[in-house]
């Protein structure tokens, strides 16, 4: 299962969807496409808007900008991932940390 942990200025994505075998998993491909497109869009608009750290089975996105256009891109990314999780409940889980 892919887990998307959403914290105040950080998104951490871990795991594998397990929908299909490696290279044929449409859920993994969808998550990758959504996230890569969003990260690239944010960086295209503002080069220092975020940083991302890739590790084995883990991607951490640290959001560094408070600009409205960057917030919209990240919110849209989260909305798309949430929509995907409604269809593939057994393969992707969204976990939102409550803000104090």
Is there a contact between 70 and 49 (Cβ–Cβ < 8 Å)?
A: yes
Per-residue pLDDT band for 3 (boundaries 50, 70, 90) equals very high
Compute the radius of gyration of the chain from its Cα atoms.
13
Q: What is the value of pTM for the model shown?
A: 0.92
Which class for 50: exposed (0-12), middle (13-18), buried (19 or more C-beta within 10 A)? buried
Number of domains in the chain: 1
Domain enclosing residue 69, as ranges: 2-96
CATH number at residue 42: 3.30.70.1490
76-88 confidence digits (pLDDT tens): 999 999 999 999 9
């Amino acid at each position: 299962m892919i887990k998307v942990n959403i914290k105040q200025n950080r998104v951490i994505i871990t795991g594998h969807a397990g929908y299909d075998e490696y290279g044929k998993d449409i859920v993994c491909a969808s998550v990758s496409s959504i996230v890569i497109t969003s990260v690239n869009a944010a960086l295209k608009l503002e080069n220092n808007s975020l940083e991302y750290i890739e590790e084995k089975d883990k991607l951490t996105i640290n959001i560094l900008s408070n600009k409205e256009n960057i917030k919209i891109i990240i919110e849209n990314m989260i909305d798309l991932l949430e929509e995907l999780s409604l269809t593939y409940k057994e393969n992707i889980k969204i976990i939102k940390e409550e803000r104090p």
